Amino acid sequence: MALVKGAQEVTNSTIGRDSYFTGRFYINGSLKIDGKFEGKSLQAEQLYIGVTGKVKTNVIANSVIIEGIVMGNVTARNRVMLLPTAKIFGDIKTPELIIQNGVLLEGRCTISNDLKHSAKDIIEVEYNKLTVGETAVKSTMS
């Protein structure tokens, strides 16, 4: 999602300010939400939740920009950007997280290029790898 363009320039579908949508929503392309969405899941390539937007579900997208309210987990393959009016209650998983001053966020954030594996597991593997110095010391002690 082009972060430098206005939302109206990058979205091809919109849930308008006075609209309410429930269920499962899968869209190829970009979606802007200025109204309310509740459901089982929401998937889009690019997702923009405007200042008046309210979402209560888990979100999966390539890129997500949030100015409104999200109650649910957000998983983005590229980036999540939280603008000053954003309010999120849920976990975020993404390779890149941008949080501007004023955001209200409660949840865990996992920032990793590998979203399929737990960050804890990746870090433990790296931590447990022996360095050259450790290998030399261990072999002389044997």
Q: Which residue has the tokens 């000053």?
A: 84
How many domains in the chain?
1
pLDDT in tens, 11-61: 677 787 888 878 888 888 899 999 999 998 899 999 999 999 999 999 999
Which helix (H) or strand (E) element contains residue 106? strand 104-106
Q: Is residue 128 part of a domain?
A: no
Q: Structural domain of residue 84, as residue ranges?
A: 7-113
Please indicate, yes or no, if residue 35 is contained in any of the structural domains: yes
Q: Is residue 140 part of a domain?
A: no
Classify residue 104: in a domain, yes or no.
Answer: yes
63 in a structural domain:
yes
Residue 99, C-beta contacts closer than 8 angstroms, at least 6 positions apart: 82, 105
Chain centroid to Cα 19, Å, comes to 24
What is the spatial distance between Cα 99 and Cα 79, in angstroms, rounded to a whole number?
A: 11
Q: What is the pTM of this model?
A: 0.79
Q: Which residues of 68-106 are buried (b: 16+ CB within 10 A; e: fewer)?
A: bbbebbbbbeebbbbbebbbbebebbbeebebeeebebe
Let me know if residue 120 belongs to a domain: no
pLDDT (tens digit, 9 = 90+) per residue, 53-95? 999 999 999 999 999 999 999 999 999 999 999 999 999 999 9
Asked whether residue 95 is domain-assigned, the answer is: yes
